[in-house]
Amino acid sequence: MSDSPLLADLVLSRSATDRSAELRKDSEWIARAFNDSTTLFICVNGSRAPITGNDIAFIAFADIPRDSLTYFLGLDGGTAFFGVSVDADFVATHDSDAWLNLRASGSRLSDRDAGLLVTAVALDNWNATHPHCSRCGALTEPSDAGWARRCPVDNSTHFPRTDPAVIVLVTDSRDRVLLARQHSWQAGWVSILAGFVEAGEPAEAAVVREVGEETGIRIDPQSIDYLGSQPWPFPNSLMLGYHARALNTDICVDGDEIVEAGWYDRVDIKELCGAQELHLPPRVSIAHQLLVRWFGEALPGNSSFR
């Protein structure tokens, strides 16, 4: 296992752009930047954006669909970046084959483009799924350059939500790793365990609870080590990565979310992945990096399921 206390190279945690949050409420500055010829726009549809090679395919101001929702993403070297929410018709008429899901494209992009696209996808998802006021039910209006929504009826302000979730690499006394398959995954697709933090619950308690609920494995609370975080905007999670040690090895899956689980050593991983019988999470995920840290080198075989 790596001696590094924290994970490195988290694909969706990279960013080289100044978010310049103080400018979001400056409507005059936003208007000038929006109309500046040097400003670059990223079109987003769900979790997809147009990608050319290893770069985002930015669009010009003139190509932005009328009445599209836009959101200020930040500045880089004096250049302003905005996200633009577009519909399926726009995708169909603008080289639809080039539109890639962030899961597929994230590891290909530069630090700047990866950070921009993660933010754009998160804001697009939030604005699309929270059009109504949670207090009175009225339709809300975009505000603060796409970073808030205001209710015209009760004057309340709503901000993007982020749901914390824990993801944990569990090892036993023999340094084997616990891998599991969700019910919706094909046979052979496995990952480490994850789950949402509940209301009023510390993240470390969520680690113990989720592992116990899904596999029957008891976690030593004193062994839980925090290793890093990564946004996961599908649609609005923040993944908190941990390593923990198991107190027992007898597995009893819940049969609901998790349908099978098992212990694997490094030889098992090499042989099963090499034979294409086991498929691990893609590099874009924090699960991949947690596994790399335990494995000690690049993961073998096909680790590209999404």
Q: How would you write the pLDDT of the chain (306 residues) with one tens digit per residue?
A: 445 578 988 999 998 999 999 999 999 999 999 999 999 999 999 999 999 999 999 998 889 998 899 999 999 999 999 999 999 999 999 888 899 999 999 999 999 999 999 999 999 999 999 999 999 999 999 999 999 999 999 999 999 999 999 999 999 999 999 999 999 999 999 999 999 999 999 999 999 999 999 999 999 999 999 999 999 999 999 999 999 999 999 999 999 999 999 999 999 999 999 999 999 999 999 999 999 999 999 999 755 544
Tokens 């893609």 belong to: 282
Regarding whether 249 and 182 lie in a shared domain, the answer is yes
Regarding whether 257 and 152 lie in a shared domain, the answer is no
Any idea what the CATH number is for the domain that residue 213 is in? 3.90.79.10
If one counts the domains in the chain, the total is 3
SS3 226: strand
Regarding whether 119 and 176 lie in a shared domain, the answer is no
Write down the pLDDT at residue 3. Answer: 52
Regarding whether 71 and 17 lie in a shared domain, the answer is yes
Q: Tell whether 303 is covered by a domain.
A: no
Q: In Å, what is the CA distance from 70 to each residue of 8, 41, 60, 61, 147?
A: 32, 9, 13, 11, 10
Give the structural domain span for 146. 134-161
Regarding whether 108 and 84 lie in a shared domain, the answer is yes
**CA separation for the pair 250, 143 (Å, rounded):** 52
Regarding whether 86 and 192 lie in a shared domain, the answer is no
**CA separation for the pair 128, 135 (Å, rounded):** 18
Write down the pLDDT at residue 303. Answer: 54
Regarding whether 271 and 171 lie in a shared domain, the answer is yes
Write down the pLDDT at residue 8. Answer: 83
Tokens of 29: 């500055």
Write down the pLDDT at residue 253. Answer: 97
Tell me how far the alpha carbon of residue 87 is from its chain's centroid.
Answer: 22
Angle at 11 between CA 146 and CA 148, to 5 degrees: 10
Residues in the chain: 306
Regarding whether 115 and 65 lie in a shared domain, the answer is yes
**CA separation for the pair 91, 78 (Å, rounded):** 29
Q: Tell whether 55 is covered by a domain.
A: yes
Regarding whether 238 and 177 lie in a shared domain, the answer is yes
Write down the pLDDT at residue 4. Answer: 53
Tokens of 37: 């010829």
In the chain, where does DSSP find H-type helix? Answer: 27-34, 88-92, 102-105, 111-129, 203-215, 266-274, 286-295
Regarding whether 85 and 196 lie in a shared domain, the answer is no
Q: Tell whether 306 is covered by a domain.
A: no
Final residue of a structural domain among 161, 179, 211: 161
**CA separation for the pair 284, 102 (Å, rounded):** 9
Q: Tell whether 304 is covered by a domain.
A: no
Q: Tell whether 300 is covered by a domain.
A: no
> Would strands 70-76 and 79-85 be described as parallel, antiparallel, or unpaired?
antiparallel
Regarding whether 237 and 122 lie in a shared domain, the answer is no
**CA separation for the pair 246, 238 (Å, rounded):** 24
Write down the pLDDT at residue 302. Answer: 57
Strand-pair partners of 195: 166
Name which of 131, 21, 141 is nearest 72 in CA terms: 21
Regarding whether 209 and 100 lie in a shared domain, the answer is no
Q: Tell whether 6 is covered by a domain.
A: no
pTM for the predicted model, two decimal places: 0.93
**Dihedral (CA of 139, 29, 159, 83) sign:** positive
Write down the pLDDT at residue 5. Answer: 76
